[in-house]
Amino acid sequence: MISTIDTTHLLSWITLAPLLGMVAILFTPRDKHDVIKTIAAAFTGIPLVLSGWLYFKFDQSLAGYQFYEDFAWVEAFNIRYTVGVDGLSAPLVLLTGLLMFFAVFSSWNVEKGVKGYFMLLLLLTVGINGVFVSLDFFLFYVYWELMLLPMYFLIGIWGGPRREYAAIKFFLYTLAGSVLMLVAMIAMYLHSGATAAERTFSLVTLAQKGQGGLFDSGPALLGMDFRSWLFLFLFIGFAIKIPVFPFHTWLPDAHVEAPTAISVVLAGILLKLGGYGLMRVNMQVLPGALWSDGGPTGWATMLAVLGMINCVYGAFVAMAQTDFKKLVAYSSVAHMGFVLLGLAAMNPNGIAGANLQLVNHGTSSAMLFLLVGVIYDRAHHREIAKFGGLAAHMPMYASLAFLGIFTSLGLPGLAGFWGEALSLIGCYEVFPKITIVSTIGLIVTAAFLLMTIRKVFFGPKKEQYAAFPDLTLREWACLTPFGVFCILLGVAPFLLTDWIGPSVNALAALFGKS
Amino acid sequence: MNLETYLHDLSRIWPEIVLSVTALLALLCDLLQRGRDTRVTGWVTALGVLFTLGWICRDFARADGATVFGMIAHDRFAMFFKLLICAGTLIVTLLSLFFRGFQRDGVGEYYSVLTVAAVGAIFMVSTNHLLLLFLALETLSISSYALAGFLKRDARSSEAALKYLVFGVLASGAMLYGFSLLYGYAGSLDLPTIAATIRTHLQVGENGLTPAGIGCGIAVVLCLVGFGYKVAAFPFHFWSPDVYEGAPTPVTTFLAVVSKIASFGMILRFFGGIPHGSEGAAPLASAIAAVAACSMTFGNLAAMVQQNAKRLLAYSSIAHSGYLLAGVAALVAPGAADAAHGAGGQGVVAALGTISGGQAVAYYAAAYLLMNLGAFAVVIHLSNRFGSETIDGFAGLGWKAPVASGALVLFLLSLTGIPPTVGFIGKWYLLQPIWDKGLHWLAVLLVLNSVVSLFYYFRLARSLFLKDESQALASPRTGAFATELTVIAVTLAIGTLWFGVSLNWLSNLVLSLPV
């Protein structure tokens, strides 16, 4: 499972470098805006470069954890600083590096409270990367909660008109989920051994013990067995983050009110944490809750049904939106449904599809939010109905927008296709009816995205938009890399599938499938 | 008792003696000053308390568990709580020095009364004797009544003192009656003997409780009334919002932090002898758990609608009493630790790697000290400078006083229980024994309560940073000791963060406590 103890501390550098940047900004005078922004760019650039290096150093033939680091943190309770990545988390680390770096660039026009903004952005980076690399549940939880405060202030201070409401709603929802996760974590720890030496927070050990059936027995409460309680508490924590219907209502508010860069981070990475958590904790530690006696359990069916609701309901609600940003936000809900469908399938295709969807949605939704931000900066509104004929005024913008939108609707040849296709293929093997219903979501998604293209970019030219400049150099520089990824991962999906393959197969093997 | 043992015993209560002398010195100092400048008195007091603090640190390793004069326990548990009380008193003394409300009136004797209250608190956590316990409690209480009314020209302050007194006397009466019943059943004023008596009498036999058992139960409930009043637990909390709001803010800080921590030290000592697999403790544990559940829920819900920052913190401290009482319930509850480890039932699992309810309460008390002192320090800072104590009055001040306000956000995070702060570690420690003893519902209720508490704590943060500055805001006042208070707040903030990340030292210290 574990290769060797890493001596380069690569993952620690990736995680903690932004913290140094935070300290540097703390001691920078608050009116030196350019210096602060440059520091922020530099210290989000470090994780990007290092995670790029990680891609090339990563041994793609192994399923286990690599770049493993392990130190004692709290001896009395066997809490350790353990980090490592496998095929499930490494692509997400790279995605984080990419998105956070460009989030800094797309925030270059922030003028209010610059110092605070970039310090919080760096703190957020620490939290996100920390969750992806943590292999100790306690550490995982600390990083998980570390993201809440920066997000609260980033939405609450720099957001739109209803920012206060959106910020506290985001905070309350996410905290409600994570405290239940905390209870599950404590229950798992206390159950993991009879003596101090045996008890552990290590996700690696917990996974081994869980797969061995440790959590199958335990105190039943209110007629539900111990394992189901653990699964439920953990699931709610992750489901709120994904977000799964009916826990999704914070998402549109947060997205609409958040500044562009924060929307990008929210859709691009924060939603991925939920899916990742489901794989890392629920599926690896409690496989028996999803698959027992050679068939899917009620929880797996629930996962698939919720995935279906996300796909169909999310798409229909998105279609009804008049606000461009809200439309993109609800389309995220629909897209995350495919992740759930893929995970519920628990076979290599499904899990690989879910992972591809996580990464691809990270690039495509980030691109869409950036695109919305570009037009909002010019028009100061986001009403789809008020736009029209933009393709003629801003050809460069329009072409990149088409790329993003087509990726989002899953056009073959572009990145979005692979995740959705593999998820559905995988899910069809286990839940054929649910899969068929879910495809309605695909059609509706295509419909509303194409309608959006028609309304915003085609149609009669409108005079008030004639003076709009096309993309500036900075916007161009922010959008192009995502466009490149959308095409690259579309024509060469093996770049990702080879990377995640062994880990995906190992995960699927837990459910007797290979 | 010969002179040698007498002197030897005396040498073990040097901190208490030093603190008492400090109280007298403060009085003398004020006399010499004739009320002209109270700051000298304040600094003398601070030095005295600091000296006591150092002495306790020095004594910490020497605590041998002996009983001094047959009344005072000389153990690590007492040392730990004395340390917290002295540290709290020190900060409160400094806050009083920098509190604007004390600048006008001559309040020299204030420091003397404050120190006497601290002496009472110290004896409360270290005594093993029911009579001394009551004396110590009353020393703290009566000094507190006086402290609450110290702003003599302020009607609210006087009202607070009176309310506090009336409620306090009532609760003391009930508790004293409980004590007398306990003395009747146990025939001794010695706490360990009483604990053993309670344990014996509360055993449920075939015919239910014996008459003595019922009597013992009533006595313990009466004691709980008194304790509940001291820690402002629901339903004995009615005095606290008014008193917290009306009293001068440093006094509020003292009541909310030092007095409460001392009371929990006393509660742990009182109940500490009862558990260890005693089945008879189950109804008692249920009663405490119920009070805990009501306190945290009520405190949090009531805090949501508060406008005054001090009142908000008062309700929040009711909720925190609930959290701490939940830890006490876990301490008292019969050892059902095996229930969490499958129905195999191989007896009680060794307590290694787990923290006992009492230790968790001790840790949480330390966390509570740091974060609540910090929160009050920032409230004093803001009201000194901008003359406002309401949440709306704080609007936009985060940009005017970024360091202090940033520190406040950290304290609020810690009070909510979000990592990486000491408050999170405290909650996490509390949850362990609660879950382990089978009080699963209480654990879930506790974490859900943290979500509720986030809502009102972050109303403060929202006001400070998310709102625009209110127009009515006058320009910052001068002479508001902004720097001094910021230094205090930042120091406490560093502590809050440090103990939230570097867990080993404080955890090991707490795990060595014999509760």
A268 and A348 in a single domain? The answer is: no
In chain A, pLDDT over 70 holds for what percent of residues? 98
Q: With an 8 Å Cβ cutoff, is B458 touching chain A?
A: yes
Bridge partners of B205, per DSSP, are: B208
Q: Do B419 and A142 touch (CB under 8 A)?
A: yes
Is there a domain that residue A197 lies in? no
A79 and A2 in a single domain? The answer is: yes
pLDDT at B350: 37
Q: Do B450 and A218 touch (CB under 8 A)?
A: no
Q: Do A190 and B436 touch (CB under 8 A)?
A: yes
User: Mean pLDDT, to the nearest integer, of B358-367?
Assistant: 92
Tokens of B22: 């400090």
> Which of A112, A186, A192 is the mutation pick for testing B, counting most B CBs within 10 A?
A186
Q: Which residues of A touch B428 (CB under 8 A)?
A: 182, 186
Residues present in chain A in total:
514
Structure confidence at residue B62 as a pLDDT band (50, 70, 90):
confident
User: Mean pLDDT, to the nearest integer, of A37-51?
Assistant: 91
Q: Please choose, from the candidates B435, B410, B434, B437, the residue with its C-alpha nearest in 3D space to the C-alpha of residue B424.
A: B410
pLDDT at B235: 86
Chain A's closest residue to B446, CA to CA, is: A179
d(C-alpha A205, C-alpha A199), whole Å? 10
Of A148, A164, A176, the CB nearest to B418: A148
pLDDT at B97: 87
pLDDT at residue B336 is higher than 60: no
User: Mean pLDDT, to the nearest integer, of B359-381?
Assistant: 93
A58 and A108 in a single domain? The answer is: yes
Is there a domain that residue A287 lies in? no
Is there a domain that residue A200 lies in? no
B475-481 LR contacts (CB < 8 Å, sep 24+): B476/B385, B476/B386, B476/B400, B477/B100, B477/B384, B477/B385, B477/B386, B477/B387, B480/B100, B480/B381, B480/B384, B480/B385, B481/B97, B481/B98, B481/B100, B481/B381, B481/B384
Q: Do A190 and B462 touch (CB under 8 A)?
A: no
Of A179, A196, A221, the CB nearest to B352: A196
d(C-alpha A248, C-alpha A240), whole Å? 7
Q: Do B436 and A145 touch (CB under 8 A)?
A: no
> Which of B354, B429, B510 is the mutation pick for testing A, counting most A CBs within 10 A?
B354
Q: With an 8 Å Cβ cutoff, is B1 touching chain A?
A: no
In chain A, pLDDT over 90 holds for what percent of residues? 32
Q: Which residues of B touch A171 (CB under 8 A)?
A: 454, 458
pLDDT at residue B175 is higher than 70: yes
Q: Is the four-CA dihedral B146, B147, B149, B150 of positive or negative sign?
A: positive
A260 and A329 in a single domain? The answer is: no
Structure confidence at residue B474 as a pLDDT band (50, 70, 90):
low
pLDDT at residue A132 is higher than 60: yes
Distances in Å between the Cα of A3 and the Cα atoms of A6, A62, A66, A72, B378 are 9, 9, 6, 19, 50
* Residue type present at position B393: G
Displacement of CA B262 from its chain's centroid (Å): 5
> Which of B465, B498, B506 is the mutation pick for testing A, counting most A CBs within 10 A?
B465
Of A145, A186, A221, the CB nearest to B419: A145
Structure confidence at residue B57 as a pLDDT band (50, 70, 90):
confident
Structure confidence at residue B349 as a pLDDT band (50, 70, 90):
very low
User: Mean pLDDT, to the nearest integer, of B358-364?
Assistant: 91
Chain B's closest residue to A162, CA to CA, is: B466
Q: What is the pLDDT of residues A283-333, one digit of tens each?
A: 989 888 888 877 888 888 999 999 999 999 999 999 888 888 889 999 999
Structure confidence at residue A1 as a pLDDT band (50, 70, 90):
very low
d(C-alpha A402, C-alpha A412), whole Å? 14
Instruction: Specify which of A58-67, A271-280, B351-360 reaches the highest per-range mean pLDDT.
Output: A271-280
d(C-alpha A377, C-alpha A379), whole Å? 6
A82 and A130 in a single domain? The answer is: yes
pLDDT at B470: 64
Q: Please choose, from the candidates A411, A229, A436, A441, the residue with its C-alpha nearest in 3D space to the C-alpha of residue A317.
A: A441
From the CA of B501, how many Å to the nearest CA of chain A? 9
pLDDT at B479: 66
Q: Which residues of A touch B438 (CB under 8 A)?
A: 219
For residues A60 and B94, the model is more confident at B94
Q: Do A218 and B342 touch (CB under 8 A)?
A: yes
Q: What is the pLDDT of residues A403-415, one digit of tens each?
A: 999 998 888 888 8
Q: What is the pLDDT of residues A438-458, one digit of tens each?
A: 989 888 999 989 988 888 888
Q: Do B424 and A145 touch (CB under 8 A)?
A: yes
Residues present in chain B in total:
515
Q: Do A196 and B462 touch (CB under 8 A)?
A: no
Q: What is the pLDDT of residues B219-249, one digit of tens each?
A: 888 988 889 988 888 888 888 888 888 888 8
Structure confidence at residue B353 as a pLDDT band (50, 70, 90):
low
Q: Do A152 and B458 touch (CB under 8 A)?
A: yes
In chain B, pLDDT over 70 holds for what percent of residues? 90
A465 and A374 in a single domain? The answer is: yes
Structure confidence at residue A124 as a pLDDT band (50, 70, 90):
very high
A21 and A63 in a single domain? The answer is: yes
Q: What is the pLDDT of residues A249-278, one digit of tens each?
A: 899 889 888 888 899 999 889 999 999 999
pLDDT at A341: 92
Q: Do B419 and A168 touch (CB under 8 A)?
A: no
Q: With an 8 Å Cβ cutoff, is B166 touching chain A?
A: no
pLDDT at A476: 87
Q: Which residues of A touch B465 (CB under 8 A)?
A: 153, 156-157
pLDDT at B204: 67
Q: Which residues of B touch A175 (CB under 8 A)?
A: 416, 418, 450-451, 454
Of B350, B352, B454, the CB nearest to A172: B454
Is there a domain that residue A238 lies in? no
Q: Which residues of A touch B352 (CB under 8 A)?
A: 195-197
A259 and A388 in a single domain? The answer is: no
Chain A's closest residue to B430, CA to CA, is: A186
Of A195, A197, A219, the CB nearest to B340: A219
A86 and A174 in a single domain? The answer is: yes
pLDDT at B342: 33
Of A156, A171, A217, the CB nearest to B454: A171
Structure confidence at residue B205 as a pLDDT band (50, 70, 90):
low
Q: Domain ranges for chain B, please list them.
A: 276-341+350-515
pLDDT at residue B346 is higher than 80: no
Q: What is the pLDDT of residues A208-231, one digit of tens each?
A: 888 888 887 777 777 788 888 899
Tokens of A49: 């470069």
From the CA of B510, how many Å to the nearest CA of chain A? 11
Name residues whose C-beta falls within 8 Å of residue A59's C-beta, 6 or more positions apart in sequence.
Answer: A3, A66
pLDDT at A265: 92
Q: Do B465 and A153 touch (CB under 8 A)?
A: yes
Chain A's closest residue to B504, CA to CA, is: A74
Of A148, A164, A186, the CB nearest to B432: A186
Q: Do B504 and A218 touch (CB under 8 A)?
A: no
Q: Do A142 and B432 touch (CB under 8 A)?
A: no
Tokens of B306: 């508060």
In chain B, pLDDT over 90 holds for what percent of residues? 36
A256 and A352 in a single domain? The answer is: no
User: Mean pLDDT, to the nearest integer, of B331-346?
Assistant: 49
Is there a domain that residue A236 lies in? no
d(C-alpha A293, C-alpha B11), whole Å? 70
Structural domains of chain A, count = 2
From the CA of A283, how many Å to the nearest CA of chain B? 22
> Which of B410, B418, B422, B449 is the mutation pick for testing A, counting most A CBs within 10 A?
B418
pLDDT at residue B131 is higher than 60: yes
Q: Do A171 and B438 touch (CB under 8 A)?
A: no
User: Mean pLDDT, to the nearest integer, of A89-112?
Assistant: 89
Using an 8 Å Cβ cutoff, are B330 and B437 in contact?
A: yes
Of A152, A167, A194, the CB nearest to B341: A194
A372 and A253 in a single domain? The answer is: no
Name residues whose C-beta falls within 8 Å of residue A149's C-beta, 6 or more positions apart in sequence.
Answer: A120, A123, B409, B413, B418
User: Mean pLDDT, to the nearest integer, of B194-220?
Assistant: 77
Of A74, A157, A219, the CB nearest to B503: A74
Q: With an 8 Å Cβ cutoff, is B430 touching chain A?
A: no
Domain that holds residue A23: 1-181+246-278
Displacement of CA B322 from its chain's centroid (Å): 12
Is there a domain that residue A67 lies in? yes
A463 and A367 in a single domain? The answer is: yes
Of A75, A146, A180, the CB nearest to B504: A75
pLDDT at B274: 61
Q: Do A113 and B431 touch (CB under 8 A)?
A: no
Q: What is the pLDDT of residues A390-405, one digit of tens each?
A: 878 888 888 888 899 9
Q: Which residues of A touch B416 (CB under 8 A)?
A: 175
Q: With an 8 Å Cβ cutoff, is B348 touching chain A?
A: no
Using an 8 Å Cβ cutoff, are A68 and A133 in contact?
A: no
Q: With an 8 Å Cβ cutoff, is B339 touching chain A?
A: yes
Is there a domain that residue A187 lies in? no
Q: Do B511 and A176 touch (CB under 8 A)?
A: no
Is there a domain that residue A229 lies in? no
CA-based R_g, chain B, Å: 22
Q: In the predicted model, what is the mean pLDDT of chain A? A: 88
From the CA of B419, how many Å to the nearest CA of chain A? 5
Query: A21-31 burial string, b = 16+ CB within 10 Å, else e?
Result: bbebbeebeee
Q: Which residues of B touch A194 (CB under 8 A)?
A: 341, 349-350
pLDDT at B472: 54
Least confident of B147-156, B209-218, B267-276: B267-276
Structure confidence at residue A152 as a pLDDT band (50, 70, 90):
very high
pLDDT at residue B457 is higher than 80: yes
Q: In the predicted model, what is the mean pLDDT of chain B? A: 84
From the CA of A101, how many Å to the nearest CA of chain B? 25
From the CA of A264, how many Å to the nearest CA of chain B? 21
